[in-house]
Amino acid sequence: MENVLRARVTKEGHIDAYLKIWNGGLQLTDRELDVVKELVRSYMEFTEGGVKEPYLTQMIMSSENANRIKRKLKLSKQNFSNIKTKLKDKKVLLEDGEENIFFNPMFIPKKEITFKFEIV
């Protein structure tokens, strides 16, 4: 018998709930979490518009999208750059070895996730 915890959430609430689950281990600051939420919103908007890889990653990490996020969150260029560096350190943003940055797909909200705990 499996124990299932179900949560009813709105589309917007889904992003928040999903990221809060991961944030326990990542310990993102409020500002870092705000940036991640905006990246996720961008991802969802672009995919709903029919954008697929490799263009999806390019659009999410584009300077236009970064500028939109900076304006919306009222972040300076330096502050955004610092947050971006911290998100790379925390593996929310990944690099492909050619200095291309992309959003870690693990942080794209899914409708269903499963946790298995290994007690040591």
pLDDT digits (tens, 9 = 90+) for 103-120: 888 888 777 666 666 777
Contact (CB, 8 A) for 19 and 107: yes
Sign, CA dihedral 78-82-85-87, equals negative
pLDDT at 116: 64
On whether residue 3 sits in a domain, the answer given is no
pLDDT at 41: 92
Domain count, the chain: 1
User: Tokens 């809060």, residue?
Assistant: 20
The residue among 5 and 73 whose pLDDT is bigger is: 73
On whether residue 60 sits in a domain, the answer given is yes
On whether residue 51 sits in a domain, the answer given is yes
Contact (CB, 8 A) for 102 and 61: yes
Pairing of strands 101-103, 93-95: antiparallel
pLDDT at 2: 65
Query: What would the two tokens of residue 91 be?
Result: 């593996």
Domain extent at residue 40: 11-107
Contact (CB, 8 A) for 1 and 92: no
Average pLDDT of every residue of the chain: 86
pTM (2 d.p.): 0.82
pLDDT at 15 over 60: yes
On whether residue 118 sits in a domain, the answer given is no
